[in-house]
Chains A and B, each alone.
Chain A
Amino acid sequence: MTIPAPLSAQPALDRTRAIEARGLDVYYGAFRAIKGIDLEVTRNRVTALIGPSGCGKSTLLRALNRMNDLIPGSRVQGQVLFRGQNIYDASVDPVQVRRRIGMVFQKPNPFPKSIYENVAWGARLNGFRGDMDGHVERALRQAALWDEVKDKLAESAMALSGGQQQRLCIARAIAVKPEIILMDEPASALDPIATLRIEDLMRALAMDYTIVVVTHNMQQAARASDDTAFLLMGEDRAGILVEFGSTRQLFTNPKDKRTEDYITGRFG
């Protein structure tokens, strides 16, 4: 196996496009979970993926940083272009992809280590050199968690509240300096106050990162996102992209009848 060139060495061909799916199909065994998805995610924006349960939102999200590779029997057709390169090319190492495209999960999943170690570990394993204390502090500040944990960095992350744990997971993702952060229903396990904090955080993070967020909550998409993609299960149970546009346009003036039915609560 040849050692692939690091993705960072590729010239950034498109200054505005962060990541793009082209004709993307994902299969789990014989079952096609999503079909023919074309999606262009713009840099420094929050893009929400909405749709009813089982429409393939999370599958699409995981396909964007090759987390689907970890599911036995999964298979991808089509392309996901990142920095002008298809991340499913044989020459691309998925470890490189995930280093550039981070992920935050539905349930907060901090490591059973100290708060400090949670943030430092990812940076260290990717070869971080320099002032680790400062690096950890910056990541925690960016995740709006620093003030709450600065006096107990050595304590277990498991002792934090759910909302704090989720922000710690975001800090952990930031600490490896990704370009894109994928979030899979990051607030669905949290109470309304903690949810709002995560939403504020997403908005703030979009200054430096590109955010793609799956959400069940349409208010959340409307409040916190710039662009919205609406997915729906097709006749063969494969998820398809019905409509994609700016959040304002999609929620106020949907082009597709099915989008309108969904956002007005007629089904889903």
Chain B
Amino acid sequence: MSARWEVLSGDEAGTLPEGEGLRLNLARRYRVASLWRTFFVAAVLVAIVSLTALLYNVIDQAFGLVAVQNTVEPASLAVGGVPLAEQTSEQLLTLLQQRVPSAVLRRMESEQPLAQRSREDLNALVLERVVQLRVLKSWPLHLSLLDREAIEAQVGEQYPQARLVFRSWLTPEFLTRSQSSTPALAGVRTALLGSLWTIAITLLVAFPLGVGAAIYLEEYARDSWINRALQTNISNLAGVPSIIYGILGLAMLVRGLEPLTSGAWFGAVDPTTANGRTILSAGLTLALLVLPVVIINAQEAIRAVPRSLRLASYALGATQWQTIWHHVLPSALPGILTGSVMAMSRAIGETAPLVVVGASTFIAVDPSGPFSKFTTLPIQIYQWTSRPQDQFRNIAAAAILVLLALFLTLNASAVLLRNRYSRRYVS
């Protein structure tokens, strides 16, 4: 020990740069640092450019000029001088029965009897089926803004009857209208409600189960090989592709637990629902999918609670449960909430597992409970983008904007919750 110390304190073992050498050495170190810095800035730039491109793409499709033309002019549908918009339900019903093919009428009757529908619904049906405002062609936003003359010339030449109007595909009506085979009349209400129902079930199941499992693993589980294996498996499950969860949901929930998921056990069988392909199945599948993420996030939040806080509680004669309930959980809550909401954001954007579980491709009837058949926003977007008509691309873009707004709302609520429950730890 002492021998080595003597060598180090002598001057033969090596030298540190001085003068010019020091300057060069320092310059090299700064060069390396600035190279790394450039890389970091570039990484951020790539991320920003990608996000901007995504938004540009969506917005470009969601707004723009359209050439529109009515098949039947609404003015010609006025009865006794009463314009279409002011006609009663009975008048609208008669109109539909006169003008719509009986096969289509029968299908609409089977979804929901026409006589039971509201005046607004009937009016929408008349517009969709009789007036049939057709969008002949749509142009993306950048062309609409930069090349309007060329578009006008093209419309005048190809669609002399048509009007050219600027259209935002994302409108309040887009949110409140249900599905339609005519893009200009389609809306996301069914899909939005489906998404909200599904995410509510996912939250109700995944949050308590996930937090409960995290409390057990962090606070009660001993350091045994079983618990270590459990922990490893949970971490691995968080990385399993979501389609696998879809297959699990199909086998276990849709098929295996059909009496539960179809609502038969509760006497709530919906005749239009084929077997267990319900909102409940979808919500439970997504709950399984995000459960590992919720557990891991909650575990991390619980682990971050200072040990001194637990010790203080125990030293006052608190039991383990009192310590967990009064100190650990309140301190971990902001982290648990943030992590759980992030997991919900992931669930709301999931598509693949729901395709497997059996989301409906086309339903115009709103989900009314956990045993309804359903579709969700991402499924709807996927459907629309795969249709051949151009205008479905436009409404898909509008639906993407709706989905993004939903994401932002969820994440903002996570931030608000965190700030609300955050307590600062000083010293």
* A and B interact: yes
B79 contacts partner chain A, Cβ-Cβ < 8 Å = no
The chain A residue sitting closest to B311, CB to CB, is A105
CA distance A114 to B326 in the complex (A): 14
A158 contacts partner chain B, Cβ-Cβ < 8 Å = yes
CA distance A98 to B320 in the complex (A): 12
Q: Which residues of A contact B327 (CB under 8 A)?
A: 111
1/0 contact string of A25-40 vs chain B (CB within 8 Å): 0000000000000000
The chain B residue sitting closest to A94, CB to CB, is B314
A179-229 contacts to B (CB < 8 Å): 189
B316 contacts partner chain A, Cβ-Cβ < 8 Å = yes
CA distance A248 to B426 in the complex (A): 39
Q: B322 touches which one: A96, A107, A125 (CB < 8 A)? A: A125
Q: Which of A65-73, A130-138, A142-150, A233-241 contacts B (4 or more CB under 8 A)?
A: A65-73
The chain A residue sitting closest to B322, CB to CB, is A125
B315 contacts partner chain A, Cβ-Cβ < 8 Å = yes
1/0 contact string of B298-340 vs chain A (CB within 8 Å): 0000000010111111111111001000110011000000000
The chain A residue sitting closest to B320, CB to CB, is A95
B427 contacts partner chain A, Cβ-Cβ < 8 Å = yes
1/0 contact string of B7-34 vs chain A (CB within 8 Å): 0000000000000000000000000000
Q: Which residues of B contact A67 (CB under 8 A)?
A: 311, 314-315
B268-324 contacts to A (CB < 8 Å): 306, 308-319, 322
B425 contacts partner chain A, Cβ-Cβ < 8 Å = yes
CA distance A169 to B308 in the complex (A): 12
Whole-angstrom distance from the CB of B335 to the nearest CB of chain A?
A: 14
Q: B425 touches which one: A65, A103, A158 (CB < 8 A)? A: A158
Q: Which residues of A contact B149 (CB under 8 A)?
A: none
Whole-angstrom distance from the CB of B356 to the nearest CB of chain A?
A: 43
CB-CB under 8 A for A165 and B316, given A67-B311, A111-B309, A125-B326: no
CA distance A99 to B317 in the complex (A): 4
A176 contacts partner chain B, Cβ-Cβ < 8 Å = yes
Contact A112 B312 (CB under 8 A): no
Q: Which residues of A contact B330 (CB under 8 A)?
A: 112
Q: Which residues of B contact A108 (CB under 8 A)?
A: 427
Contact A109 B317 (CB under 8 A): no
Contact B223 A72 (CB under 8 A): yes
Q: Which residues of B contact A54 (CB under 8 A)?
A: none
Contact A158 B308 (CB under 8 A): no
CB-CB under 8 A for A103 and B315, given A111-B327, A112-B331, A125-B326: yes
Q: A162 touches which one: B223, B309, B312, B427 (CB < 8 A)? A: B427
The chain B residue sitting closest to A122, CB to CB, is B316
Contact B309 A158 (CB under 8 A): no
CA distance A189 to B326 in the complex (A): 26
Contact B316 A99 (CB under 8 A): yes
Sorting the interface of chain B by its residue count into under 10, 10 to 19, 20 to 34 or 35 or more gives 20 to 34
Q: A98 touches which one: B308, B310, B317, B326 (CB < 8 A)? A: B317
CA distance A109 to B306 in the complex (A): 9
Whole-angstrom distance from the CB of B155 to the nearest CB of chain A?
A: 66
Most buried by B among A100, A104, A125: A125
Whole-angstrom distance from the CB of B262 to the nearest CB of chain A?
A: 46
The chain B residue sitting closest to A123, CB to CB, is B316
CA distance A162 to B427 in the complex (A): 8
CA distance A93 to B145 in the complex (A): 78
Whole-angstrom distance from the CB of B228 to the nearest CB of chain A?
A: 14
Q: Which residues of B contact A162 (CB under 8 A)?
A: 427
The chain B residue sitting closest to A158, CB to CB, is B426
Contact A169 B427 (CB under 8 A): no
The chain B residue sitting closest to A96, CB to CB, is B317
CA distance A99 to B318 in the complex (A): 8
B423 contacts partner chain A, Cβ-Cβ < 8 Å = yes
Contact B308 A105 (CB under 8 A): yes
B424 contacts partner chain A, Cβ-Cβ < 8 Å = yes
Whole-angstrom distance from the CB of A118 to the nearest CB of chain B?
A: 9
A252 contacts partner chain B, Cβ-Cβ < 8 Å = no
The chain A residue sitting closest to B427, CB to CB, is A162
A249-263 contacts to B (CB < 8 Å): none
Whole-angstrom distance from the CB of B291 to the nearest CB of chain A?
A: 27
Most buried by A among B223, B317, B318: B317
Contact A111 B315 (CB under 8 A): no
Contact B319 A95 (CB under 8 A): yes
Contact A125 B427 (CB under 8 A): no
A154 contacts partner chain B, Cβ-Cβ < 8 Å = no
CA distance A104 to B423 in the complex (A): 22
Q: Which residues of B contact A169 (CB under 8 A)?
A: 312
A12-62 contacts to B (CB < 8 Å): none
Contact A95 B427 (CB under 8 A): no
Q: Which residues of A contact B316 (CB under 8 A)?
A: 98-99, 102, 121-122, 125-126, 172-173, 176
Most buried by B among A98, A162, A165, A189: A98
Q: Which residues of B contact A100 (CB under 8 A)?
A: 317
A159 contacts partner chain B, Cβ-Cβ < 8 Å = yes
Q: Which residues of A contact B313 (CB under 8 A)?
A: 111
CB-CB under 8 A for A95 and B426, given A105-B308, A109-B308, A125-B326: no
Q: List 18 A-B contacts (CB under 8 A).
A: A67-B315, A103-B315, A105-B312, A108-B427, A109-B306, A109-B311, A111-B312, A112-B309, A112-B330, A121-B326, A122-B316, A125-B317, A158-B425, A158-B426, A162-B427, A173-B316, A176-B316, A189-B427
Question: CB within 8 Å of A: which residues of B?
Answer: 223, 306, 308-319, 322, 326-327, 330-331, 423-427
4 closest A-B pairs by CB: A99-B317, A122-B316, A109-B308, A103-B315
